[in-house]
Structure 1
């Protein structure tokens, strides 16, 4: 990144994309939780109930991660706004570094969530009749 200016408007754009993605995930999780609730009364086998509990826990955990990611984006947006107030339109290296690390975190979380969805859909294929 040497001699490259990174503008807060570019990072703001990426933040907005992430916020939309996180909102989508939250909506999906609501749907998945509803599907779980439909299945809870249908099965009594301990192994199936354990799987249902597993997904319930995973969805709660992922919901917490989403909240944490949203808070981090909000904090970064506030930090960028402070820079903007003093007339800085390009961010310093440490702030850009934080953004790049967060981008990697989003990429990791995106994969974790995709894997969870695959696992859940496989479960539904097996038990949704």
Structure 2
């Protein structure tokens, strides 16, 4: 038995994720600015090690958000192309890809929020 997939729902999830990626990218810029302030004001080795840790984490997240945006856009194009041909159905493979990408987005959201909380605790201590 084939599963029926609501295309509007899938497209809405992709659009929500793309908006979330824009938000998290902007948030990374803000966090990076705060990190630079902390680094400029505190030269202690302990602080500089944490600054490097956060710089690395921010870079990793920026790269991953860029990759995730690309994956979502590719998935959207695949959905649109299939809908032009079939008028109402997408392949199970495309649906499975969407599900995997969406799960990756949710995971990234959780990891990013944990990192942001960790950074805010660090910033509160050193700003």
Q: State the Cα RMSD in Å.
A: 1.3
Per the alignment, residue 43 of structure 2 pairs with 44
**2:114 is the alignment partner of 1:121:** no
1:111 Cα offset (Å): 1.2
Structure 2 gaps, min length 5: none
Per the alignment, residue 8 of structure 1 pairs with 7
Tell whether the 8 Å contact from 1:7 to 1:89 is kept in structure 2 after alignment: no
Q: How many residues align?
A: 127
Partners of 1:13 and 1:107 in 2: CA distance: 14
Partners of 1:115 and 1:32 in 2: CA distance: 13
Secondary structure of the structure 2 residue equivalent to 1:86: helix
Per the alignment, residue 62 of structure 1 pairs with 61
Identify which range, 19-28 or 92-101, moves more after superposition. Answer: 92-101
Structure 1 gaps, min length 5: none
1:95 Cα offset (Å): 1.4
Tell whether the 8 Å contact from 1:7 to 1:91 is kept in structure 2 after alignment: no
* 1:53-98 Cα distance to aligned partner (Å, 9 max, x none): 1111111110000000000001001101111221332212111111
Identify which range, 44-53 or 6-15, moves more after superposition. Answer: 6-15
Partners of 2:76 and 2:96 in 1: CA distance: 14
Partners of 1:90 and 1:102 in 2: CA distance: 19
TM-score of the aligned structures, taking structure 1 as reference length: 0.92
Partners of 2:8 and 2:21 in 1: CA distance: 20
1:10 Cα offset (Å): 2.0
Per the alignment, residue 102 of structure 1 pairs with 101
**2:67 is the alignment partner of 1:71:** no
More helix by share: 2
